[in-house]
Amino acid sequence: MTGLPVAVVGASAAGLAAAEALRRFGWRGPLTLIGAEPHLPYDRPPLSKQLLHGAWAPEKLLLRTAEQLAPLDLDLRLGTRATGLDVAGRTLTLDGGERLGCAGVIIATGVAARTLPGAEGIAGVHTLRTLDDALALRGRLANGGTPGSGGVAAGGGARRLVIVGNGVLGCEAAAVARELGHEVTLVGIEATPMAAAVGTEVGELLAEEHRARGVRLLTGAVAGFETAPADPAGADGPQVTAVRLADGSRLPADLVLPAIGSRPAVGWLDDPALDTTDGLRCDAYCAAAPGIYAAGDVARWDHPVHGRPLRFEHRMNATEQGMAAARNLLAELAADAPAAGAVDAAPAQERRPFAPVPYFWSDQYAVKIQAYGLTAGADRVETTVLDRAERRALALYGRDGSAVGVLAAGLPPRQVRALRAVVATPLPWKEARERIHAATAAG
């Protein structure tokens, strides 16, 4: 054995998938999994849904228990951050100062939540990216209104929650907060919720559902916060009392959730050999440099079907790309084994381009949205509202004359699954329309 580990940086869904795939594909050497959070790898989508609602306990989010991880024989470094990477030497620097030489590295550090200027140190202003974030916000919402009633629970009054950002996260959190009985104002730069991700017509359908459920929708930019002095009984800082918008309006608030997007967690990667513009730039094999691969939300790679670099913050992509990065890294190590002495590498195999069909979903109230392919950045969108009252709709997304994405809201699972094949590769718009209609009619 060489004694050099393969290191996976990021104890995320992508990182765990990579670690498991490394063992499954034959890596017999040391395997290090490094996670900045103190928690075992957990699932993030439920943070803004079941966990925030209180329907799930934190333990239900775990992707693997400690007992299930044991067969991987991991050197598990939780609560540890990587602070640097020497690409040529394949050497990681950790926050304790340790330098870890590696046979290969897979970077799966994901993204970090963006926040608003001036929000730091204000009690009641939360982000929602990590388990600890979600638990903190859930704790503040727990004594609010009776679920689904819009009323006030016996244990406390309904909170006034202002959510800044009307993308997927903001809309999901708004739905949960209303179901818990809180007063919710959803503020976005764009007039239509989720329009950048799903288009205007589907976004308007969602807006109707939020308004029907009692969410106040506003368009505007945040100019600042109003606060009250810290509570001597234990508040960490001044308490938010209102959000001020650029037009001068004032939104009273007990809690504020900035849901204004994220930034790839690449700040620790300062080696000039790496391109960290909008994520870690990789080739079609998920390789950023020899022996250095990336997976999940942090990776921006050359999608071989769409012919351009893409980065997806989608849960399914995290798992699939983690496995692909592991397989391709091992193929590289196996090919280099005679020269490098990497006897712990898996049996020789060929690297394969990573060409997934993107998939994402969102649950808001009783509305389930599912999409395949590329929906953002479309230059043509055709939306069919099948049942406005039930929020059932079908949308096709095009780019440069081809259909590249499809979305279904409220459709049966069999119909939704049939849509995937239509956009697995870009099709001429007319042919895709015909196939979409055939697939939905057959349901």
- Residue 270: phi, psi to the nearest 5? -110, 10
Instruction: Answer yes or no: is 353 within a domain.
Output: no
The reply to whether 254 and 292 lie within a common domain is no
In this structure, what token pair is assigned to residue 35? 């996670």
Instruction: Answer yes or no: is 249 within a domain.
Output: yes
Q: What is the pLDDT of residue 235?
A: 58
280 and 298 in contact (C-beta within 8 Å)?
yes
Instruction: Answer yes or no: is 122 within a domain.
Output: no
The reply to whether 28 and 42 lie within a common domain is yes
77 and 32 in contact (C-beta within 8 Å)?
yes
Report the CATH number at residue 420.
Answer: 3.30.390.30
Alpha carbon 173 to its chain centroid, in Å, reads 14
pLDDT along the chain (443 residues), means of 10: 86 98 96 98 97 96 98 98 98 96 98 95 96 96 53 58 97 97 97 95 97 97 93 75 97 97 97 97 98 98 95 96 98 77 60 95 94 94 93 95 95 87 92 87 62
The reply to whether 309 and 214 lie within a common domain is no
Domain boundary among 258, 284, 319: 258
440 and 422 in contact (C-beta within 8 Å)?
no
Q: How far is CA 264 from CA 136, 358, 362, 401, in A?
A: 23, 18, 21, 31
The reply to whether 164 and 253 lie within a common domain is yes
Q: Is 423 helix (H, G, I), strand (E, B) or coil?
A: helix
In terms of Cβ atoms closer than 10 Å to its own Cβ (0-12, 13-18, 19+), residue 165 is buried
The reply to whether 156 and 248 lie within a common domain is yes
Domain boundary among 202, 226, 258: 258
Report the CATH number at residue 302.
Answer: 3.50.50.60
Residue 210's identity, in one-letter code, is: H
The reply to whether 394 and 333 lie within a common domain is no
Domain boundary among 194, 228, 258: 258
The reply to whether 313 and 248 lie within a common domain is no
Instruction: Answer yes or no: is 126 within a domain.
Output: no
Quote the CA–CA distance of 268 and 76 in Å, as a whole number: 20
The reply to whether 311 and 220 lie within a common domain is no
Nearest CA to 39 among 134, 104, 124, 125?
134
Q: Please, what's the b/e burial string for 220-259 (b: 16 or more CB within 10 A of its CB; e: otherwise)?
A: bebbebbbeeeeeeeeeebbbbbbebeeeeebebbbbbbb
DSSP letter for each residue of 218-237: EE--EEEEEEEPPPTTT-SS
Quote the CA–CA distance of 43 and 131 in Å, as a whole number: 9
The reply to whether 198 and 285 lie within a common domain is no
Edge-to-edge strands, sheet with 280-282: 280-282, 299-303, 308-310
Residue 275's identity, in one-letter code, is: D
Going by the DSSP 8-state scheme, the letter that residue 70 receives in this structure is G
User: Per DSSP, which regions of 168-312 are E strands?
Assistant: 183-188, 216-219, 222-228, 239-245, 250-252, 255-258, 262-264, 280-282, 287-289, 292-294, 299-303, 308-310
Going by the DSSP 8-state scheme, the letter that residue 37 receives in this structure is S
26 and 349 in contact (C-beta within 8 Å)?
no
Q: What is the pLDDT of residue 144?
A: 52
Q: What is the pLDDT of residue 441?
A: 73
Going by the DSSP 8-state scheme, the letter that residue 298 receives in this structure is G
Quote the CA–CA distance of 380 and 40 in Å, as a whole number: 42
Instruction: Answer yes or no: is 247 within a domain.
Output: yes
Going by the DSSP 8-state scheme, the letter that residue 342 receives in this structure is -
The reply to whether 168 and 252 lie within a common domain is yes
Nearby residues of 363 by Cβ (< 8 Å), 6 or more positions away: 49, 172, 175, 369
Q: Is 397 helix (H, G, I), strand (E, B) or coil?
A: strand
Instruction: Determine the structural domain holding residue 34 and report its residue range.
Output: 6-112+262-340
Instruction: Answer yes or no: is 354 within a domain.
Output: no
The reply to whether 336 and 371 lie within a common domain is no
The dihedral built from the CA positions of residue 159, 160, 163 and 166, taken in this order, carries a sign that is: positive
The reply to whether 319 and 428 lie within a common domain is no
Instruction: Answer yes or no: is 400 within a domain.
Output: yes
Nearest CA to 8 among 307, 322, 273, 276?
322
For the chain, the domain total comes to 3
pTM given for the model: 0.93
222 and 125 in contact (C-beta within 8 Å)?
no
Instruction: Answer yes or no: is 17 within a domain.
Output: yes
Nearby residues of 246 by Cβ (< 8 Å), 6 or more positions away: 220, 221, 222, 223
Quote the CA–CA distance of 119 and 164 in Å, as a whole number: 12
